[in-house]
Structure 1
Amino acid sequence: MTSNPNKSLEHFVSSADFDPQTVSKLTPQQERYYTASQWQIMWWKFRKHKLALYSGIILVCMYIVALLAELVAPYSLHNREIDHIYAPPQVVHLFHEGDFIGPFVYGFDYQLNMENLKREYTPNPAKIQKLQFFCQSEQDYEFWGLIEGNFHFICPDEGGTLFLWGTDRLGRDVFSRIIYGSRISLTIGLIGVTISFVLGTFFGGLAGYFGGIVDNLVLRAVEILKSFPSLPLFMTLSALLPVTWSPLGVFFGISIIQGFLDWPGLARAVRSKLLSLREEDFTTAAQLMGASHARVIGRHLLPSFSSHLIASATLAVPMMILGETSLSFLGLGLRAPITSWGVLLNEAQNINSVVLYPWLLLPVQPVILVVLCYNFLGDGLRDAADPYK
């Protein structure tokens, strides 16, 4: 007796209550996910990483502040208050003797301590100096060196002072100089990483994809560059910059030097990854379909480990910021009249000054904040770009 296979199949389907329409139907959430682009999926995954999301917001705010430094800083870059040298930070108050007055600071009474020659400033409650917002100040500036103006988001009261983070040895407002210094310190990392990223992915991609003599040449170049001590090499290249260059030219020169010294590490990582990916079936399929070498590398291989590239780029930016800060602190990087966080910390080398005037170390706070934010942001972007998470 022969059995009917079609009848057995129908019996199996009916017994399992199989409904093709029910199985193939997607919920609106599933349909939205399966029809989304790669960038949309990355954004949805990144939003779940709250620490990375908040870090990205903080970094965006810091770059906006750097862009609008002339408007945000209450004082101009080179403004000097000779009557308030080494003045301590002024605390912003809202109430005075129980009465609401609004944002204000107390003025200072000054005297020189003849025992230790320390300048002593005492807040005087009788000197109430209200803060002004969206105001025109006596502090004129040229916005990005192009447009003259005197508009500020916050200004001291007429005849008063506003030293949120104190002043330095020349009576210059530390808070304003930190804001101006953010332009250099935040930008130098982006320029250096861009150069390093382009060189690292280019030479690493060539070495990993082609192999052979190309791989040997790239590896030998990487080994030669890595064999030099980084600090003496940086000092030598920095010394070669012409003394006649403007401060802006020196800034770009330092950025380019940092980029050229940092690419070998990324090139090694790209090379090792492409050595394995070039043997995959999708690479062979792309080659058989007539795709050029540049298309195979750029459209198929590099996106396959984009999470590693993103993490490397985001981690390289704070490292370059730390490098510029450290070298400028030692007097080997940027120098006055350029203003960066490292140049500001250079004034805190005298331990006696730090003991007497600890607010001179305040420029280290934005450095720590930027490094932490970039690290958290890199973790979030790496997880969002990882296809296996």
Structure 2
Amino acid sequence: MSKLDHYVNKAPFDPHRAVVLTPEQERYYMASQWRLMWWKLKRHRLGLASGIILVLVYFSLLISEFLNPYNPSHRHTDYLYMPPQSVHLFHEGEFIGPFVYGITVDRDLTRMQWVYGEDKTDIQPIRFFCSAGDYAGAEYEFWGLIPGDTHLFCPAEGGQLFLAGTDRLGRDMLSRMGYGGRISLTVGLVGVIISFALGIFFGGIAGYYGGFVDGFIQRMIEIIRSFPHLPLWMALSAALPVTWSPIWVFFGLTVILGMLDWPGLARAVRSKLLSLREEDFAVAAELMGARPKRIIMRHLMPSFMSHLIASASLSVPAMILGETALSFLGLGLRPPVVSWGVMMNEAQNINVVDLYPWLILPMFSVILVVLAFNFLGDGLRDAADPYK
């Protein structure tokens, strides 16, 4: 007979028939909510792999200057609209290591464009962990503070290395994509922080107090959600003063995206609080004299914080796509700021894309990151679900 039978049926407790938990069962029953969530996420292989990818991507943003071979604003005027170079390991059957061939440049007067080819007599080995002060575009200021010129990989001395091609001004596309991710992905995170704060504040008030307060906030949410998002984003972005510096435009765009995304999270918080505010622990805290702010933040919110984190992870892709769309349309960030949306602005003309298809490479970066966030959000949502 177990201890439960003893208390329910008032039967004599027999210690010899008590249920004994194995170490594995005890570890499971004693685990915290966050540990249980982590164990479930590890079983979601796609979500876990997406999380690892995102960690690597965001870490690379911290050291973009080191990872990319050129300064994103440096112009190589002799290599406009140059296609991506191919990396080779063997030359005429002999292993040399990673290298590129030299570049030949000609002009096509019929199509009015530059024609590039490979000079297979000119072998240019790719250098790694190099102090690259001997070629143009190597110098940088780490996070705008510390001067440096050390890169993960560099072109050969006297050579050029454009693994993702160049744009109309001869700027290296790979370096610009690396630096551009710093802006595009930061907009998503900062926007979600603003959305998270507003959603918890308004959703918490509506769910805890109910009545007139709940009705007023719900009508306000319905009004905001009734507007089409993209036209509203465009209108508010166009209202930003053209005299603002790129930094102020960045913060203005982030605030716009964050302030228009909070209604969905607020409704999720409201529905959870409506069901939790009548629980015994919440009523006990109220009877002991706890203030509403303490009850909401210390007792109610931790009960479903894992669900909020899963919801926030699914909101980041919408922020990234919003910035990309606005910058692509010329209403978001503007040059000299480098972001994926600003880079794709140059690929608006279908004729340009047909002639220079590598200009749409930033689009694949957006697709990769958005898919990773969606898969991670699915994994977190399943891990936070107590019924799975």
What is the TM-score when the length of structure 2 is the normalising length? 0.91
**Distance change (3 Å), C-alpha of 1:90 and 1:23:** farther
Letter in 1 for 2:240: L
Q: What is the CA-CA distance between 1:219 and the residue it aligns to? A: 1.9
Offset at 1:60?
A: 0.8
What residue is the counterpart of 2:24 in the other structure?
29
Task: State the alpha-carbon separation in 2 of the partners of residues 363 and 346 from structure 1.
Answer: 10
Asked if 2 retains the 8 angstrom alpha-carbon contact of 1:306 and 1:385, the reply is: no
Q: Which residue of 2 aligns with 1:122?
A: 117
Task: Note the 1:225-304 alignment, pairs <5 A.
Answer: 225-304=224-303
Checking the alignment, whether the CA contact within 8 Å between 1:135 and 1:152 is kept in structure 2 is yes
1:27 CA displacement: 2.1
Equivalent position of 1:171 in the other structure: 170
Match of 1:159 in 2: 158
AA partner of residue 74 (structure 1):
P
Is residue 131 of structure 1 aligned with residue 126 of structure 2?
yes
Q: Distance in 2 between matches of 1:90 and 1:144?
A: 29
Letter in 1 for 2:67: V
Equivalent positions of 1:1-389 (< 5 A) are: 20=15, 23-138=18-133, 139-389=138-388
Q: Write the distance in 2 (CA, Å) between the matches of 1:33 and 1:286.
A: 29
For structure 2, the 5+ residue unaligned runs are: 1-12
The answer as to whether partners of 1:344 and 1:363 remain within 8 angstroms in 2 is: yes
Q: Is the 8 A contact 1:90 1:165 kept in 2?
A: yes
Contact 1:307 1:383 in 2 (8 A): no
1:172 match: secondary structure = coil
Residues 263-290 of structure 1 deviation map (CA, whole Å, 9 limit, x = unaligned): 1222122223322332334433433344
Q: Secondary structure at the match of 2:299?
A: helix
Q: Deviations over 1:36-75 (max 9, x none)?
A: 3222222222111111111111101111111111111111
Larger gyration radius, structure 1 or structure 2: 1
Match of 2:6 in 1: none
Q: Closer, same or farther in 2 for the Cα pair 1:363/1:320, shift >3 Å?
A: same
Q: Deviating runs (4+, > 4 A) in structure 1?
A: none
Q: Which whole-Å CA distance do the structure 1 matches of 2:14 and 2:117 have between them?
A: 83
Offset, 1:302: 2.8
Following superposition, the deviation at residue 34 of structure 1 comes to: 2.6
Offset at residue 325 of structure 1 (A): 0.4
Deviation at 1:208, TM superposition (A): 1.1
| 1:2-42 CA distance string (max 9 Å, x none) | xxxxxxxxxxxxxxxx9845744332222222333222222
1:307, distance to aligned residue in structure 2 (A) = 4.2
What code does the residue aligned with 1:68 have?
I
State the one-letter code of the partner of 2:362.
P
SS at match of 1:362: helix
User: Partners of 1:169 and 1:47 in 2: how far apart?
Assistant: 45
- Offset, 1:253: 1.2
* 1:38 alignment partner AA: Q
- Matched to 2:351, the amino acid is N
SS of the equivalent of 2:304 reads helix
In the alignment, the residues of structure 2 paired with residue 381 and residue 235 of structure 1 have an alpha-carbon distance, to the nearest angstrom, of: 32
Task: Kindly tell me the number of residue pairs found equivalent between the two proteins.
Answer: 372
TM-score, normalised with respect to structure 1 = 0.91
CA RMSD of aligned residues (A): 1.9
In the aligned structure 2, how far is the partner of 1:372 from the partner of 1:307?
Answer: 21
